[in-house]
Structure 1
């Protein structure tokens, strides 16, 4: 078969360009119509979607037009409208229009960030953005960092380098010789509210869940520095060695920011690597009102940032920043076809040695275009809007007799619950769980269901800068009505 017969490949030929324009136009028109639909979700169950969606791989193929039509029918129409005012369950943001435009450029050019000769201009853009991000954090000038798929991967990089640096101080190379010694004595500390990727990554690195010691949190889900100090002393008394402390700047539910400066002081005193998971709270780097919440971030050995949360970029887009570039030597690997010694001696940039990935998308373009399109002032405004709105919503919830504020908001999330006239803890918990389930099943709203200090509650994650207090009041009224229906059923 001659590939040019039906032009499936994007290229510079007239036929290919015409096919590309037709496919993009058809897809764009479908997205525009989908954006206009009033429903947040069509309300189909798992069983209904499983029955409805069928793959159709034929011998001859359906062609571009028919395939796009099927994708619109079976995927797009049944997708969650993350831009909808009532879609507030998760750290799942609506995206900037300019981010959508960036995706067109990223996808069409298909650059791979693992070598200069696969991504020349893209490599320089990423390096310059890493330099800029380091400046925002408060690190010294440099380019030690890399774009990642998101928080879990960035946290893995921080923990992996912390582990390798820990062993290197003892004269042992993990890269060359693997894990050694009594691994049961090696510990990582994080708060009870830290992201589950700490445990997940420690298991992935061969040290297991048991290596993770959880530090108590205060009433706002922030790491208790006094308990951290006590647990460090206890670890020392037990003959244990702490390879890293993971602080969190923006816990998933409460948006809590640990006391970074106090944690950094303890880490420095005990010569322990400090990694900060700022996947959510890192957005405050651009804030005009709340930047001080991140004081102490510059003291961390490594930092996780996500841009597909409150930076409003499309998934995926994250970054890992490393304070001391020398630690990158712990994971360095030379592949002659990608990052040869000859190239590096002649100043050719090498990003593959900074990443856990080899082939990697040029996601940095989205952040660059977002910053240039919006400017720092407008970016700050839409980030600050969520934090300010959360405080307004909390005040409103506190004034409602049948709603209870579970915790004062810190970033852009509000934890609350419907509170019927009942002292049955299990009944109240199940009621709130069912409220969330019924709202999603109806397609009316997507409200998070979680736990805070053992209390089952509902969560509003107010990332959407187009949402205002009036929209949230409508949602809260839906919560009340749903609760009443369930109570009367």
Structure 2
């Protein structure tokens, strides 16, 4: 035997001693004290964040925030964890938006559930990557189990499949990519993955409502079709895609010599929280051989509730669906998924590399999630957060949160409609209400006044609301996504809005 070879049996139990302090900052078996100290201090700061915040934002101005960050010398490390956390308090924690407070009623940012936060500790420390089985054995099957569970909630059969993604925009990109490539393969016998876009790709058309998510436009550009491929379909009185106008738009594009390939329906619009008529849209898609993708990034919470599940009737007819657990399942960012009705369609995006997922490997015996991903090789084990949540809390409790939110949005809508000084555009299937302060008899510029209200609210930090424009008119927007929000909170917020509006009128 070669004497220069290391005798493993004699060395495996050696105590790790060389330059112990030098390696204390690396997560390994002899650095538990350093890990414990850092995590304990982080936990204290989180607890302080919860205890000390009484309003959703500090109101700090961008120029002050920029100055604080730019004055830091990144080449000079701090002496200890206490100093580090003190610095981060000043730069981040003290000015972080507190989504958990009912006075935060702006965007689609939900309060998060505690089991998912516990999972984050494991996810970050163990640091599994979800691309292949040898990098995440249990993680591979936990993710697959959750994809199967989500598919069942949608109403798909066991032929469905999918993958966790970084967010709704990425999932929507995957939906349109499959729509584009499936159409080319099925109807033109053209393989875009191998041969690039077909000569007539500039004629491809994708139909979305006027209120669909902006990611459709960006994704059409990324896919090489350009934003000109997006055809806007008119909406009904509740700002949902109008099936009659959809059929008309398809006929018009065909008459122009263009090639319809897909429809994106929205289950929970960002501006109004309403669900497109999915069953009718699915029938139109089927008649015209179009891929139907449903963006349920917001409305996916309806899958959890028996009371309002009917609002998603027809989603099971879609070819693909976007799910954002970090919106309506109360998960920390990021936690999303892309689901397809027919798992074979995911073969379109499969690509083999000898060092990672070789072609000859038996993927039934040794699975690899990377075969389903388009832009993420290394990928966090975000599925564990949802696993913790479902196993600890259960589907029913999450569904009750959604029901509470919908009920509060309905009560808020009634309150706005009953007040002659507010103008509400429409009700909501979920929790988004678009309105403006418009005092009875006042003849001034309501757009400027409501912009003033939003600005004053933001920089005082007392209440955070969103805004949008509808037909060129500026409106305020409530996004109720917190089951802790009560009608008393709403009364207070509306009173503050009135106060700032009246200040503007009488200034």
CA distance in 2, matches of 1:75, 1:352: 34
Task: Name the SS of the counterpart of 1:343 in structure 2.
Answer: coil
Query: Does structure 2 retain, via aligned residues, the 8 Å contact 1:301–1:322?
Result: yes
Query: Does structure 1 retain, via aligned residues, the 8 Å contact 2:162–2:339?
Result: yes
Q: 1:59 to 1:417 in 2, by over 3 A?
A: closer
For the pair shown, the structure with the greater C-alpha radius of gyration is 2
CA distance in 2, matches of 1:349, 1:184: 37
Query: Does structure 1 retain, via aligned residues, the 8 Å contact 2:55–2:103?
Result: no
* Structure 1 outlier segments of 4+, above 6 Å: none
Identify the match of residue 40 of structure 1 among 34, 40, 56: 56
* Cα deviation, residue 421, structure 1: 4.4
Query: Does structure 1 retain, via aligned residues, the 8 Å contact 2:293–2:321?
Result: yes
Identify the match of residue 114 of structure 2 among 73, 82, 97: 97
Deviations 1:233-260 (A, max 9, x none): 1122122111110000000010121111
1:175 aligns with 2:193: yes
Q: 1:424 to 1:201 in 2, by over 3 A?
A: farther
Give the count of matched residue pairs.
486
1:432 aligns with 2:447: no
CA distance in 1, matches of 2:242, 2:306: 27
Query: Does structure 2 retain, via aligned residues, the 8 Å contact 1:406–1:457?
Result: no
CA distance in 2, matches of 1:486, 1:125: 55
The answer for the alignment partner of 1:226 in structure 2 is: 244
The answer for the alignment partner of 1:149 in structure 2 is: 166
What TM-score do the two structures reach when normalised by structure 2?
Answer: 0.93
Identify the match of residue 286 of structure 1 among 298, 301, 304: 304
The answer for the alignment partner of 1:126 in structure 2 is: 143
Give the CA RMSD over aligned residues. Answer: 1.6
Identify the match of residue 439 of structure 2 among 413, 420, 438: 420
Query: Does structure 1 retain, via aligned residues, the 8 Å contact 2:409–2:431?
Result: yes
Unaligned runs of 5+ in 1: none
Unaligned runs of 5+ in 2: 1-17
The answer for the alignment partner of 1:27 in structure 2 is: 42
* Cα deviation, residue 396, structure 1: 0.9
What TM-score do the two structures reach when normalised by structure 1?
Answer: 0.96
Query: Does structure 2 retain, via aligned residues, the 8 Å contact 1:422–1:428?
Result: no
Q: 1:271 to 1:486 in 2, by over 3 A?
A: same
* Cα deviation, residue 39, structure 1: 2.5
CA distance in 2, matches of 1:477, 1:102: 39
The answer for the alignment partner of 1:9 in structure 2 is: 26
The answer for the alignment partner of 1:338 in structure 2 is: 356
Query: Does structure 1 retain, via aligned residues, the 8 Å contact 2:420–2:440?
Result: no
CA distance in 2, matches of 1:179, 1:477: 56
CA distance in 2, matches of 1:261, 1:423: 44
1:350 aligns with 2:368: yes
* Cα deviation, residue 402, structure 1: 1.2
Task: Name the SS of the counterpart of 2:43 in structure 1.
Answer: helix
* Cα deviation, residue 52, structure 1: 2.1
1:313 aligns with 2:331: yes
In the TM superposition, 1:77-476 aligns within 5 A as 77-142=94-159, 144-169=161-186, 170-344=188-362, 347-356=365-374, 357-421=376-440, 427-476=445-494
